[in-house]
Amino acid sequence: MDLQLKGKTALITGGSRGIGRGIALALAKAGCTVALTARDKAALDKVATEVEQAGGKAHVLAADLLREGAANEVAQAFAQECGRLDILVNNAGAVRRGDFFKTPDQEWHDGFGLKFFAHVWMCRALWPLLKQSGGSVVFISGLGARNPVADYMIGGAVIGASLAFMKALAEIGKHDGVQVLTVNPGSVQTDRFRHRLDVVMKSTGLDEAAAKERHRRDLDITRFGTPADIAGLVCFAVSPHGRWLHGTAIDMDGGQVEPLRMSRYEELPG
């Protein structure tokens, strides 16, 4: 299927690894110029090199979106370098799991700061460009708001707020010609997944293959996802073929019914 994305320009936050990297590479292969932002410039440069080796073009805009004013600075730098924005993918941010009574206040501030407020500010700063191009905004959120659990309380709250913001922004998008939607990934094999699997192995004494299979059964899913799975959905959604997707949150999770209650094991980082 021709996604008809050749010549489009995309900006991906959290583009240095994992799902963000996967989306950047997939959009580049579909013919988009991609701009990448995250804190780690060296990691961004590596992804940019991968994009260029695949025949694409990449811009690196390193920034810590937790810092006040950083989102506006990234938006301004992007406008100067690229001029046109067709696709904004708000992917930045990871929220830790843990005991509600032991979680420091700063983790609440950081969770909302990067995975909610930074996305809000990016949308506001870049909306004129998106309106001009009739572009798309995709939020990469998660399942935390679907079935809130005690050991992922920050994530559930942040994602719930993000979903409410997306729905409201989609109302504006209908009138301004900007597509707005959310993709909720389930358990995707990224660096964070690797950390979780290591803890499961340590807690249960199982080898990697057995721990992974136990984790899959606990989640009651067909298989674990890959960044390419999420990237493929995003590419379709922002193409003309997926344009009727608007104001919706799409769960891509292998059939997961309820998030695993991580308290079955030791507290899992990240």
pLDDT tens digits along 189-206: 998 888 878 888 988 899
In angstroms, the CA 17 to CA 260 distance is 24
Residue 214 burial class via C-beta count within 10 angstroms: exposed 0-12, middle 13-18, buried 19 and up: middle
Average pLDDT, the chain: 92
At 237-257, the pLDDT tens digits run 999 999 999 999 999 999 985
Predicted confidence band of residue 155 (pLDDT cuts 50, 70, 90): very high
Q: Where are the domains of the chain?
A: 9-188+228-256
The answer to whether 100 and 141 have CB atoms below 8 angstroms apart is no
Q: Give the pLDDT mean for 220-242.
A: 97
Contacts of 43 (CB under 8 A, 6+ apart): 16, 17
Q: 265 or 100: which carries more pLDDT confidence? A: 100
pLDDT surpassing 50 at residue 131: yes
Q: Is 147 helix (H, G, I), strand (E, B) or coil?
A: coil
Q: Which CATH number fits domain 9-188+228-256: 3.80.10.10, 3.40.50.720, 3.40.50.970, 3.40.50.300?
A: 3.40.50.720
Q: Which is it for strands 57-60 and 136-140: parallel, antiparallel or unpaired?
A: unpaired
pLDDT surpassing 70 at residue 182: yes
pLDDT at 191: 84
Beta bridge partners of 249: 182
The answer to whether 265 and 228 have CB atoms below 8 angstroms apart is no
pLDDT surpassing 80 at residue 261: no
pLDDT at 12: 98
In the chain, count of helices (H) and strands (E)? 9, 7
Question: Vertex 113, ends 105 and 243: CA angle to 5°?
Answer: 140
The pTM of this model reads: 0.92
pLDDT at 194: 84
pLDDT surpassing 50 at residue 176: yes
